[in-house]
Amino acid sequence: MLLIQPFARLGVSPNTLTMIGLLLSIVTAVVISQGNLFAGGVLVLFAGIFDMFDGAMARILHAATTFGAFFDSTLDRFSESIILFGLLYYALNQPGLHDALWPVAHEQSWMIALIYIAVVGSLMVSYTKARAEGLGLECRKGLLARPERVIILAIGLLSGTGICMWAVALLAVFSNVTAVERMIYVWHMTKEAAMPDGSPDGHKPDSSQPQNARTDERHLPTTVRTNVTHDPSARPVPTRVPPFHGGVPKE
Protein backbone atom coordinates (compact mmCIF):
# COMPACT_ATOMS: atom_id res chain seq x y z
CA MET A 1 0.00 0.00 0.00
CA LEU A 2 2.83 2.42 0.81
CA LEU A 3 4.28 1.93 -2.69
CA ILE A 4 0.93 2.50 -4.35
CA GLN A 5 -0.12 5.65 -2.48
CA PRO A 6 2.38 7.96 -4.29
CA PHE A 7 0.95 6.83 -7.64
CA ALA A 8 -2.56 7.42 -6.33
CA ARG A 9 -1.67 10.96 -5.22
CA LEU A 10 -0.23 11.66 -8.67
CA GLY A 11 -3.53 10.65 -10.24
CA VAL A 12 -2.10 7.65 -12.09
CA SER A 13 -4.93 5.40 -13.29
CA PRO A 14 -4.89 1.60 -12.91
CA ASN A 15 -4.84 1.18 -16.70
CA THR A 16 -1.76 3.40 -16.88
CA LEU A 17 -0.01 1.11 -14.39
CA THR A 18 -0.97 -1.84 -16.56
CA MET A 19 0.68 -0.18 -19.56
CA ILE A 20 3.81 0.59 -17.51
CA GLY A 21 3.97 -3.08 -16.53
CA LEU A 22 3.89 -4.05 -20.20
CA LEU A 23 6.73 -1.62 -20.99
CA LEU A 24 8.77 -3.10 -18.13
CA SER A 25 8.22 -6.56 -19.59
CA ILE A 26 9.57 -5.35 -22.96
CA VAL A 27 12.67 -3.95 -21.26
CA THR A 28 13.07 -7.24 -19.36
CA ALA A 29 12.87 -9.24 -22.59
CA VAL A 30 15.56 -7.06 -24.20
CA VAL A 31 17.88 -7.51 -21.20
CA ILE A 32 17.41 -11.30 -21.21
CA SER A 33 17.92 -11.54 -24.96
CA GLN A 34 21.37 -9.94 -24.54
CA GLY A 35 22.40 -12.67 -22.12
CA ASN A 36 22.06 -10.65 -18.90
CA LEU A 37 20.14 -13.40 -17.12
CA PHE A 38 20.71 -12.16 -13.56
CA ALA A 39 19.54 -8.63 -14.36
CA GLY A 40 16.65 -10.15 -16.27
CA GLY A 41 15.64 -12.15 -13.20
CA VAL A 42 15.61 -9.00 -11.08
CA LEU A 43 13.47 -7.23 -13.66
CA VAL A 44 11.09 -10.21 -13.87
CA LEU A 45 10.47 -9.93 -10.14
CA PHE A 46 10.08 -6.15 -10.34
CA ALA A 47 7.70 -6.35 -13.29
CA GLY A 48 5.73 -9.12 -11.56
CA ILE A 49 5.31 -7.03 -8.42
CA PHE A 50 4.41 -4.01 -10.55
CA ASP A 51 1.69 -6.05 -12.26
CA MET A 52 -0.05 -6.33 -8.90
CA PHE A 53 -0.18 -2.56 -8.48
CA ASP A 54 -2.96 -1.96 -11.00
CA GLY A 55 -5.47 -4.16 -9.18
CA ALA A 56 -4.55 -2.69 -5.78
CA MET A 57 -4.75 0.81 -7.26
CA ALA A 58 -8.22 0.12 -8.60
CA ARG A 59 -9.34 -1.00 -5.13
CA ILE A 60 -7.81 2.04 -3.41
CA LEU A 61 -9.38 4.51 -5.84
CA HIS A 62 -12.63 2.51 -6.07
CA ALA A 63 -12.07 2.59 -9.82
CA ALA A 64 -12.44 -1.10 -10.65
CA THR A 65 -14.18 -1.58 -13.99
CA THR A 66 -15.04 -4.50 -16.21
CA PHE A 67 -12.81 -3.18 -18.99
CA GLY A 68 -9.97 -2.66 -16.52
CA ALA A 69 -10.08 -6.30 -15.49
CA PHE A 70 -10.16 -7.38 -19.14
CA PHE A 71 -7.34 -4.98 -20.06
CA ASP A 72 -5.16 -6.17 -17.17
CA SER A 73 -5.61 -9.87 -17.97
CA THR A 74 -4.94 -9.34 -21.67
CA LEU A 75 -1.74 -7.35 -21.17
CA ASP A 76 -0.53 -9.90 -18.60
CA ARG A 77 -0.61 -12.51 -21.35
CA PHE A 78 1.37 -10.20 -23.64
CA SER A 79 3.89 -9.47 -20.88
CA GLU A 80 4.56 -13.11 -20.09
CA SER A 81 4.87 -14.07 -23.74
CA ILE A 82 7.24 -11.16 -24.45
CA ILE A 83 9.56 -12.12 -21.59
CA LEU A 84 9.69 -15.73 -22.75
CA PHE A 85 10.35 -14.51 -26.29
CA GLY A 86 13.40 -12.65 -24.96
CA LEU A 87 14.63 -15.91 -23.46
CA LEU A 88 13.91 -17.70 -26.75
CA TYR A 89 15.96 -15.11 -28.65
CA TYR A 90 18.82 -15.70 -26.23
CA ALA A 91 18.63 -19.47 -26.75
CA LEU A 92 18.59 -19.13 -30.54
CA ASN A 93 21.87 -17.22 -30.40
CA GLN A 94 23.58 -19.84 -28.21
CA PRO A 95 24.42 -22.75 -30.55
CA GLY A 96 27.06 -23.98 -28.13
CA LEU A 97 24.79 -23.85 -25.12
CA HIS A 98 26.05 -26.39 -22.60
CA ASP A 99 25.08 -27.11 -19.05
CA ALA A 100 26.47 -29.85 -16.83
CA LEU A 101 23.27 -29.96 -14.79
CA TRP A 102 21.13 -30.83 -17.82
CA PRO A 103 21.15 -34.62 -18.33
CA VAL A 104 20.44 -34.64 -22.08
CA ALA A 105 22.59 -33.46 -24.96
CA HIS A 106 21.63 -30.73 -27.47
CA GLU A 107 20.76 -28.22 -24.77
CA GLN A 108 19.91 -25.49 -27.26
CA SER A 109 17.22 -27.58 -28.97
CA TRP A 110 15.78 -28.57 -25.62
CA MET A 111 15.75 -24.95 -24.46
CA ILE A 112 13.93 -23.76 -27.58
CA ALA A 113 11.33 -26.54 -27.38
CA LEU A 114 10.72 -26.02 -23.65
CA ILE A 115 10.26 -22.26 -24.07
CA TYR A 116 7.67 -22.84 -26.80
CA ILE A 117 5.80 -25.39 -24.67
CA ALA A 118 5.93 -23.01 -21.69
CA VAL A 119 4.40 -20.20 -23.78
CA VAL A 120 1.58 -22.49 -24.93
CA GLY A 121 1.00 -23.72 -21.39
CA SER A 122 0.84 -20.24 -19.87
CA LEU A 123 -1.67 -19.12 -22.51
CA MET A 124 -3.79 -22.22 -21.99
CA VAL A 125 -3.87 -21.70 -18.22
CA SER A 126 -5.32 -18.25 -18.80
CA TYR A 127 -7.65 -19.39 -21.58
CA THR A 128 -9.21 -22.25 -19.62
CA LYS A 129 -9.98 -19.89 -16.74
CA ALA A 130 -11.44 -17.23 -19.04
CA ARG A 131 -13.48 -19.77 -21.01
CA ALA A 132 -14.88 -21.30 -17.83
CA GLU A 133 -15.87 -17.87 -16.52
CA GLY A 134 -17.53 -17.19 -19.88
CA LEU A 135 -19.71 -20.23 -19.17
CA GLY A 136 -20.57 -18.95 -15.71
CA LEU A 137 -18.12 -21.19 -13.82
CA GLU A 138 -15.39 -19.97 -11.50
CA CYS A 139 -12.14 -21.81 -12.17
CA ARG A 140 -9.08 -21.10 -10.04
CA LYS A 141 -7.76 -24.64 -9.78
CA GLY A 142 -4.26 -25.72 -10.70
CA LEU A 143 -0.65 -25.66 -9.60
CA LEU A 144 0.85 -22.77 -11.57
CA ALA A 145 -1.08 -19.53 -11.69
CA ARG A 146 0.73 -16.40 -12.88
CA PRO A 147 2.46 -15.52 -9.55
CA GLU A 148 3.98 -19.00 -9.30
CA ARG A 149 5.18 -18.87 -12.90
CA VAL A 150 6.82 -15.47 -12.33
CA ILE A 151 8.65 -16.74 -9.24
CA ILE A 152 9.91 -19.92 -10.93
CA LEU A 153 11.20 -18.02 -13.97
CA ALA A 154 12.86 -15.37 -11.82
CA ILE A 155 14.64 -17.98 -9.68
CA GLY A 156 15.89 -19.72 -12.81
CA LEU A 157 17.25 -16.51 -14.31
CA LEU A 158 18.89 -15.41 -11.07
CA SER A 159 20.58 -18.80 -10.67
CA GLY A 160 22.20 -19.00 -14.10
CA THR A 161 21.78 -20.98 -17.29
CA GLY A 162 21.65 -24.47 -15.76
CA ILE A 163 18.90 -23.75 -13.27
CA CYS A 164 17.18 -21.62 -15.89
CA MET A 165 16.73 -24.66 -18.13
CA TRP A 166 15.19 -26.60 -15.27
CA ALA A 167 12.95 -23.63 -14.44
CA VAL A 168 11.72 -23.46 -18.03
CA ALA A 169 11.18 -27.23 -17.96
CA LEU A 170 9.03 -26.85 -14.84
CA LEU A 171 7.05 -24.07 -16.53
CA ALA A 172 6.58 -26.15 -19.68
CA VAL A 173 5.33 -29.24 -17.83
CA PHE A 174 3.30 -27.86 -14.97
CA SER A 175 1.64 -24.98 -16.83
CA ASN A 176 0.14 -27.53 -19.22
CA VAL A 177 -0.71 -29.79 -16.27
CA THR A 178 -2.54 -26.83 -14.74
CA ALA A 179 -4.52 -26.31 -17.95
CA VAL A 180 -5.49 -30.00 -17.98
CA GLU A 181 -6.45 -29.79 -14.29
CA ARG A 182 -8.81 -26.93 -15.08
CA MET A 183 -10.31 -28.84 -18.00
CA ILE A 184 -11.03 -31.81 -15.73
CA TYR A 185 -12.45 -29.51 -13.04
CA VAL A 186 -14.84 -27.85 -15.51
CA TRP A 187 -15.83 -31.28 -16.83
CA HIS A 188 -16.78 -32.40 -13.31
CA MET A 189 -18.69 -29.16 -12.68
CA THR A 190 -20.68 -29.41 -15.90
CA LYS A 191 -21.35 -33.12 -15.31
CA GLU A 192 -22.80 -32.40 -11.86
CA ALA A 193 -24.85 -29.51 -13.22
CA ALA A 194 -26.32 -31.78 -15.91
CA MET A 195 -27.76 -34.21 -13.34
CA PRO A 196 -31.49 -33.48 -12.83
CA ASP A 197 -32.42 -32.23 -9.35
CA GLY A 198 -28.92 -33.02 -8.12
CA SER A 199 -29.64 -36.77 -8.20
CA PRO A 200 -26.29 -38.62 -8.16
CA ASP A 201 -27.58 -41.50 -10.28
CA GLY A 202 -29.01 -39.21 -12.95
CA HIS A 203 -32.59 -40.61 -12.70
CA LYS A 204 -35.50 -38.22 -12.64
CA PRO A 205 -37.93 -38.52 -9.75
CA ASP A 206 -41.35 -40.04 -10.53
CA SER A 207 -43.70 -37.13 -11.12
CA SER A 208 -46.76 -39.22 -12.09
CA GLN A 209 -48.30 -38.56 -8.68
CA PRO A 210 -48.11 -35.44 -6.52
CA GLN A 211 -45.68 -35.95 -3.67
CA ASN A 212 -48.04 -34.28 -1.20
CA ALA A 213 -51.11 -36.23 -2.23
CA ARG A 214 -53.12 -37.66 0.69
CA THR A 215 -53.09 -41.39 1.16
CA ASP A 216 -56.87 -41.75 0.86
CA GLU A 217 -56.82 -39.91 -2.48
CA ARG A 218 -54.24 -42.19 -4.03
CA HIS A 219 -56.58 -45.17 -3.97
CA LEU A 220 -59.68 -43.52 -5.36
CA PRO A 221 -61.01 -45.29 -8.46
CA THR A 222 -60.52 -43.38 -11.65
CA THR A 223 -63.87 -44.44 -13.11
CA VAL A 224 -67.24 -44.70 -11.36
CA ARG A 225 -69.92 -46.77 -13.05
CA THR A 226 -73.61 -46.14 -12.29
CA ASN A 227 -76.84 -47.69 -13.41
CA VAL A 228 -78.33 -44.36 -14.46
CA THR A 229 -79.15 -44.32 -18.15
CA HIS A 230 -78.86 -41.18 -20.22
CA ASP A 231 -82.12 -39.87 -21.72
CA PRO A 232 -81.44 -37.96 -24.95
CA SER A 233 -84.73 -36.04 -24.62
CA ALA A 234 -83.83 -34.66 -21.19
CA ARG A 235 -83.26 -30.89 -21.09
CA PRO A 236 -80.98 -29.03 -18.64
CA VAL A 237 -82.70 -27.61 -15.58
CA PRO A 238 -81.57 -24.06 -14.76
CA THR A 239 -80.58 -23.33 -11.19
CA ARG A 240 -78.94 -20.55 -9.21
CA VAL A 241 -77.46 -22.71 -6.50
CA PRO A 242 -73.66 -22.41 -6.57
CA PRO A 243 -71.64 -23.86 -8.06
CA PHE A 244 -74.21 -24.95 -10.61
CA HIS A 245 -75.27 -21.47 -11.68
CA GLY A 246 -76.06 -21.49 -15.39
CA GLY A 247 -77.58 -24.95 -15.52
CA VAL A 248 -76.20 -28.41 -15.94
CA PRO A 249 -73.95 -28.51 -18.98
CA LYS A 250 -74.79 -30.81 -21.82
CA GLU A 251 -72.64 -33.83 -22.38
DSSP summary character for residue 196: G
State the pLDDT at residue 96.
83
Q: pLDDT for 184-221, tens place per residue? A: 999 998 888 777 655 544 455 454 544 444 444 444 44
State the pLDDT at residue 215.
40
Instruction: Give 152-167 as a DSSP string.
Output: HHHHHHHH-HHHHHHH
CB-based contact 54:135 (threshold 8 Å): no
State the pLDDT at residue 235.
52
Q: Which segments of the chain have a pLDDT < 70?
A: 1-11, 196-251
CA distance 50 to 72: 12
State the pLDDT at residue 192.
83
Q: Comparing C-alpha atoms, which of 53, 73, 215 is closest to residue 133?
A: 73
CB-based contact 141:92 (threshold 8 Å): no
State the pLDDT at residue 81.
95
Q: pLDDT for 61-94, tens place per residue? A: 777 788 888 888 899 999 999 999 999 999 999 8
CA distance 48 to 21: 8
C-alpha to C-alpha distances, 1 to 4, 64, 65, 103, 146, nearest whole angstrom: 5, 16, 20, 45, 21
CB-based contact 189:126 (threshold 8 Å): no
Fold of 5-198: Four Helix Bundle (Hemerythrin (Met), subunit A) (1.20.120)
State the pLDDT at residue 237.
47
pTM: 0.72
Domain locations in the chain as residue ranges: 5-198
